[in-house]
Amino acid sequence: MANAEHDNNKMPESMRRLSLDGAGKLIPVFMEHADDPDPTWKLSLLANRLCAISGEKLGETVSFICTPDEAELKSYRSMPIRPECADYILRCRPDVVELLAPGGPGFFVSHTTDNYAFNPSKMGFEATGGVVERFWDEGKIIPDEIILSLKTLMGR
């Protein structure tokens, strides 16, 4: 059973049943099968609309943890996650975030939306409507004005 707090960040109720590793850190559902070459477990999560972190039922609104490039395209390699689980993982488990959005520049983006679809040709998900976008670095939200300045400098 997972500890209810990590550095004073309250763990969502949906994550409290997760197992802990030898260091006392929670093991998200998708990591329980990380070395399994059979993708059946992943398909089961998707077919049953279960969160890749907690294994609990997804609601209408989900979050995706992604790289800035994926965020710009609104196209995600990660599986849908309950928003409260995404926030907790982004704050408390940067090692897990790296697994969900590999190849990024060291900071990450969370997109929260209720408009998304699976795109078989890309083997991933795409937002089909508006998203709430937050940039994260080392467990903290990067202020919008900094992101706006960076986007302006990059011509985006």
CA 122 from chain center: how many Å?
18
Give yes or no for residue 105 having a pLDDT over 90.
no
Domain boundaries, the chain: 5-153
Give yes or no for residue 41 having a pLDDT over 50.
yes
Give yes or no for residue 62 having a pLDDT over 90.
yes
Confidence (pTM): 0.85
